[in-house]
Structure 1
């Protein structure tokens, strides 16, 4: 039997989130047939898991242009572009209609177990580039299938692989044993059962990005509403604290993102949370029904009842083990993209425009896009993913002029350009690093004039400019 003609095969898109569905819309505009494979039961399954969190980008910034063009004939009405959706709004009012418009091109309950070249494992060179991709799929009903593809766009994100509490990048000692008291998501305190878990208790929040800001503000709301019940928080930062720890504030070109940092500062200033800096968790111990966090330097914090770990996310590369990827050894991002997004040098407002060339790999025809393209780097914005897939779709279709015409202007954070070298003294940091290392317990000064409840979160909460 002759091998299938590669150009007649579909492009398989892994993940029916915002970036994956946008990729399908752009491919269709180029006359290329997409097939979107989604592990969850519905499009936007990961977004739905943080449906209670409000984005700090407006509707005008989280709707892809090609997707909007695909939706227009269906009678879809774009929400007010100046308003801020929640994750649930984004999923229900945009992602679900978009998946419906794509129809049978989206398969749910379809988990990608592996990607390779037909008849070639990763060590075989002969004839490799002429072989189609083969994608091994496991369906929710127990079926398995292998699909052929001309190209693969991995937009599976990083939601299923959150970072651990441990300061070394490994799970802290005792972290798994304490799983019943540890969560890696911003809790939905409007849910009565979840609210009861944190009300009147002391909670540790580990992390220093937008998700941590959100959790702190929500816990402060809870403390205000349940005044006198003893709801408190301790905010644990692996680095030090400086003027830009809370983001850009009023200087942020995304106002809701700036307000989020101010809300977190208010939670600390008003005494709803203590901040412990320079604390890198080594162990989580159980004592008398509570948890005690122990640092690498031996310091021990007062017992807490719950721990919220918001230290960012990392890509799952396990199902790509037979593909030849070119990844930066630190960030696990494509080598062409990594220098542009290195958090030691850049915030999301200083990332240069990039497209298919920066996202390419030694294995031609495969692209990691969206959150996954950033590897372990934080501060990804939806508009970045949309521009990525616009360029990638054009490249796959052979329109290199369009693919290379990459234009992207991101809103400035209002903070320094990068996160700073991890332990470099403030006077020695080059490039304007924003996180000082001195370990201490911090109580800030005058309360910020912002409602603690006025919170928002970035598109897929992964941490802010200065990762945890």
Structure 2
């Protein structure tokens, strides 16, 4: 009998999973709360991707598209989210139309007739996926489940894991990466806009704001130094990602973006303008506040499944040490698959951005490799599931205890130039001195020759 694999989410990872399921002779059931494929991607359609098309198209999906007469985009070009939808996800969705069930929000996944506690017969009982949507309440059976619902709809709040007083429901606060120079330009143009966060979403939004005449962008960076936020620069093998940090450093250095380091949001007061209050007492008056502090997975509908999660990152425990931002320094996240993503619930997997939990380092190519391996495991091809077929580009980012500097390919090594200290030769040296050390050991601002050869 043909196995049915329920795929939750019709984004790039979910659709790739469906292509692999069909390639293996199984039946996909694709469920998504949106009314079209790529529902979440459309929300960040204005955002350029760090990786070029070569890293953003799944092999099984490409084969399916080519059989339908699709012409692949230039593999070296860099798509936006909208390009990803228009040139890839929509054509792929058309080839998968018979298996797509849109406008269906998943509210619960369980084993049919068996609660979370019961052992007997668990591994052979079908999954029951409950949905709500335009068709009303529905129940769908499947032999395996891949949760690729992502994290976009679950942005982190502005506090340390919790909303701060005055934050919830504030009309002048937005989350993630709003389209400040496109659809939402009128809201932000000519305003004083603060962006809280230190990741790529925050940096990208600040760069976009800096290009708006009359707009004053302020960077509320929670870290005491910007070295980690600005990334690996020239050491990053994804050139567009490295360039983002380089551009940001230039804008901060020139004063185009005002920087407030060590800013931990403690409260929001007032409305227009609002006052962002830091834990150390600083008060910043702005017209708009963008909170770009990352995302977290929605685990509520998985409560009746036996799901194992790392207590900090909310990702599969075996994956946690590979992606933990507290531990990682200069290097790649090793490709991984079914073995690292397995849960105590047989034939249940979380893939894509959601598999990373609260960790921020996900690349789309990683998700494609995940679902290739997962589907092979569901099909019983354990040799293919264990084989890794992806080499990820290095980030060149230095972080974690005992900071080690990135091995750079140009004199702009160690995370690039120092931004706030005249006595630091590079970003890594700045971090070390800010933390009380004598430096990173690669030179001083008075010894540029040593700095050029560092790390």
1:17 aligns to 2:11 (yes or no): yes
Deviation of residue 347 (structure 1)?
Answer: 6.0
Partner of residue 182, structure 2? 191
Partner of residue 465, structure 1? none
Q: In the alignment, is the contact (CA less than 8 A) between 2:176 and 2:293 conserved in 1?
A: no
1:175 aligns to 2:167 (yes or no): yes
Deviation of residue 267 (structure 1)?
Answer: 2.2
Partner of residue 238, structure 2? 254
CA-to-aligned-CA distance 1:33-83 (integer Å, 9 cap, x gap): 111111101000100111111111101110000100011111100000000
Q: In the alignment, is the contact (CA less than 8 A) between 1:203 and 1:306 conserved in 2?
A: yes
1:345 aligns to 2:327 (yes or no): yes
1:368 aligns to 2:350 (yes or no): yes
Partner of residue 461, structure 1? none
Among residues 245, 254, 271, which one is paired with 1:270 in the alignment? 254
- Paired residue secondary structure (1:172): coil
Whole-angstrom distance in 2 between the partners of 1:31 and 1:431: 48
| Count of aligned positions | 410
1:90 aligns to 2:80 (yes or no): no
- Paired residue secondary structure (1:410): coil
Residues 305/443 of structure 1: CA separation in 2 closer, same or farther (3 Å cut): farther
- Paired residue secondary structure (1:245): helix
Whole-angstrom distance in 2 between the partners of 1:110 and 1:245: 37
Partner of residue 57, structure 1? 51
- Paired residue secondary structure (2:290): strand
Whole-angstrom distance in 2 between the partners of 1:331 and 1:114: 22
Among residues 205, 215, 234, which one is paired with 1:215 in the alignment? 205
Partner of residue 77, structure 1? 71
Q: In the alignment, is the contact (CA less than 8 A) between 2:166 and 2:269 conserved in 1?
A: yes
Partner of residue 402, structure 2? 430
CA-to-aligned-CA distance 1:348-384 (integer Å, 9 cap, x gap): 9521121101100011110000000000001100000
Whole-angstrom distance in 2 between the partners of 1:444 and 1:214: 24
Partner of residue 320, structure 1? 302
Among residues 275, 279, 303, which one is paired with 1:296 in the alignment? 279
Among residues 141, 149, 153, which one is paired with 1:156 in the alignment? 149
Deviation of residue 185 (structure 1)?
Answer: 2.8
Residues 295/145 of structure 1: CA separation in 2 closer, same or farther (3 Å cut): same
Residues 191/202 of structure 1: CA separation in 2 closer, same or farther (3 Å cut): same
Whole-angstrom distance in 2 between the partners of 1:93 and 1:15: 19
Partner of residue 438, structure 2? none
Partner of residue 425, structure 1? none
Partner of residue 112, structure 1? 106
TM-score relative to the length of structure 2: 0.87
Whole-angstrom distance in 2 between the partners of 1:31 and 1:347: 41
Partner of residue 32, structure 1? 26
Deviation of residue 430 (structure 1)?
Answer: 2.7
Whole-angstrom distance in 2 between the partners of 1:354 and 1:190: 37
Whole-angstrom distance in 1 between the partners of 2:404 and 2:33: 41
- Paired residue secondary structure (1:13): strand
Whole-angstrom distance in 2 between the partners of 1:253 and 1:156: 28
Whole-angstrom distance in 1 between the partners of 2:26 and 2:65: 18
Partner of residue 452, structure 1? none
Partner of residue 290, structure 2? 308
Instruction: Tell me how large the CA RMSD over aligned residues is.
Output: 1.8
- Paired residue secondary structure (1:66): helix
1:48 aligns to 2:42 (yes or no): yes
Tell which deviates more after alignment, 342-351 or 371-380.
Answer: 342-351
Whole-angstrom distance in 2 between the partners of 1:290 and 1:177: 15
1:136 aligns to 2:118 (yes or no): no
Q: In the alignment, is the contact (CA less than 8 A) between 1:349 and 1:410 conserved in 2?
A: no
Q: In the alignment, is the contact (CA less than 8 A) between 1:347 and 1:379 conserved in 2?
A: no
Whole-angstrom distance in 2 between the partners of 1:349 and 1:312: 21
Q: In the alignment, is the contact (CA less than 8 A) between 2:36 and 2:102 conserved in 1?
A: yes
- Paired residue secondary structure (2:391): coil
Whole-angstrom distance in 1 between the partners of 2:58 and 2:275: 45
Whole-angstrom distance in 2 between the partners of 1:187 and 1:172: 21
- Paired residue secondary structure (2:96): helix
Tell which deviates more after alignment, 194-203 or 94-103.
Answer: 194-203
Whole-angstrom distance in 1 between the partners of 2:251 and 2:338: 42
TM-score relative to the length of structure 1: 0.84
Partner of residue 330, structure 1? 312
